[in-house]
Structure 1
Amino acid sequence: MRVCVIGLGRMGRGIAVNLSRKGHEVLGFDIDPNAASKLSGSNVIVTSDMLKCPEGADYVIIAVPTGKESISVINSIAGVVKGTILDTTTMSLSELKDTLRVVGERGLRYLSVRLEKGPREAERGELILYVGGDEELFKESSSILSQIGTPVYVGNHEQATALKLISNVILTANAVILAEVSTVIRKLGMDPDTVVKALSMGGSDSAQLRARLPWMLKGNYSESFSLRLARDVIDKALEYAQSMGIQLPITTLIDELLRIAEAAGYGSKDFSEIAEMLKVNERKL
């Protein structure tokens, strides 16, 4: 199978490597001229011409940061792409509407594929996929989707997009609470691994506790989901809720805290670096 991946950042790069390892012919494109060097040692073929990537591709996977960029990509490749577009971009409702308008006008085969988990899972083919769009097209695409991760058909494009935003609100709120209590845990002087093991056995267990609390306690963060991207998704969630006349006061407070941390220079690797800002504030007290 021939696959084109447009956007070779942390997630797109992982998906491309995973699919190439499974024997697919994978072409990739990114506006970053250094993208090819980050894929050295893999079988992914990186092209400098975005229009060459989707030629003859059975599937085109879009993995760009925002909906605006996704719309730009779709407009650019619409005359070339013949296969199905799997758009993994996290976007707002307004961006989704603009995207679907372009898709409809161009008569493209398109699925919304919103991703859960991080770059390591992308490279292992262990992502969770919230898929929205035509159900028959989803069934037709189940083989490639199942090689990227575990696909869950959730309904229409809006439902898949909203579910991804809701998921990000929950995980971000969880991680922010963990960052706050990490200051208390450090005062206890306990072994970080023992703390995580103990807490994960009780009612406070969560994916964020197991993945991000160790980073916070040890001050050693992996490249995963930058604070800038986390804040952007929270902003999209707030915009979506407001469009329905719903207020999210706690999410709004978290958004403000993320903005403060970003302005202070934290979160280039992962948004959980907000714990480092809290450490600084703790020392000032």
Structure 2
Amino acid sequence: MLQTNNINIGFIGTGVMGNSMASNLLKGGYNLYIYNRTKEKALSLIEKGATWKASVSELSKVSDVIITIVGYPSDVEEVYLGSNGILNNAKPGSFVIDMTTSKPSLAKKIYEIAKSKNVFALDAPVSGGDVGASEGTLSIMVGGDKEAFEHLKPIFELMGKNIVLQGTAGAGQHTKMCNQIAIASNIMGVCEAIAYAKNSGLDPETVLKSIGAGGAASWQLSSYAPRILKDDFKPGFYIKHFVKDMRIALEEADSMGLNTPALSLCKKLYDKLIAEGKEDLGTQALYQLYMD
């Protein structure tokens, strides 16, 4: 069992998800060092007791466990493999956990380089949106060595409730692709159902009382339909990040010779929203396409 007062956790990436995840680690009693490209996004954590570090390298040198949740695979590569990155500055015997949704191949590369430096690496992308991050109920999909996973489980348990070791390095990222593929069809169905309800003259809120408790029930329906009805399109999960995820999933599926027509259609729809300059809205803004 990890002793909170003896463990220094470094956390890189304090956006919509990262801020809440890091806050839960503070509540758990860990010493927390934080870094973000935009310091303003980390101020609330500093006020709660986190210690700001001016660079990735500075944070890496003092941390026993380093957690990252950044934007894109290119960001992951820079943060981990750059000359001033984590793996060139982390202490031997330390642990790194990338919770960004990224490429399985990159997760494997990070694992191998980390291993050569006596650093233990896990890929552990999450699902559950801003609400799950805030409430500490995220689903966490982990790839890497079982020993490292078991050692870090108390940390994972502060951020999530459904925590599963899926396999070796890269398995967490592959599992997240399965998650995103399932979401793609689901969010289209949610938006189409609400659009249908409105166009048929039904009261959508009353409709949700029925379909939300039946065979159509889903996390996407219960979490995003109420926001849609309030014209609330603020991001729990950015469109731009979902499109990034879908692009990775399509590339991986193509490399397997797997056809994913629903995923392809969903990405095309979101590409239209991005072309309209809506990449910083939440994924529930797909509804706007149906009502234009």
Same fold (TM over 0.5): yes
Give the TM-score of the pair, scaled to structure 1: 0.91
CA contact under 8 A between 2:108 and 2:169: conserved in structure 1?
no
CA separation in 1, counterparts of 2:176 and 2:268?
A: 21
Q: Which residue of 2 aligns with 1:95?
A: 106
Give the TM-score of the pair, scaled to structure 2: 0.89
Structure-to-structure mapping, 1:110-259, within 5 angstroms:
110-150=121-161, 151-259=163-271
> Deviation at 1:168?
0.9
SS in 2 for 1:51: helix
> Deviation at 1:126?
1.3
Q: Which residue of 2 aligns with 1:12?
A: 18
SS in 2 for 1:202: coil
- The match for 1:107 among 113, 118, 126 is 118
CA contact under 8 A between 1:226 and 1:267: conserved in structure 2?
yes
> Deviation at 1:160?
1.7
Count of residues paired in the alignment: 280
Distance 1:2 1:177, change over 3 A: same
- The match for 1:77 among 75, 82, 86 is 86
- 1:276 partnered with 2:282: no
For residue 81 of structure 1, what is the amino acid of its counterpart? A
> Deviation at 1:203?
0.5
For residue 86 of structure 2, what is the amino acid of its counterpart? I
Aligned-residue sequence identity (percent) comes to 24
CA separation in 2, counterparts of 1:175 and 1:266?
A: 17
SS in 1 for 2:124: strand
For residue 278 of structure 2, what is the amino acid of its counterpart? Y
| Superposed CA RMSD | 1.9
SS in 2 for 1:157: coil
Distance 1:225 1:125, change over 3 A: same
CA separation in 2, counterparts of 1:28 and 1:225?
A: 22
CA separation in 2, counterparts of 1:40 and 1:267?
A: 29
For residue 18 of structure 1, what is the amino acid of its counterpart? N
> Deviation at 1:157?
2.1
For residue 56 of structure 1, what is the amino acid of its counterpart? V
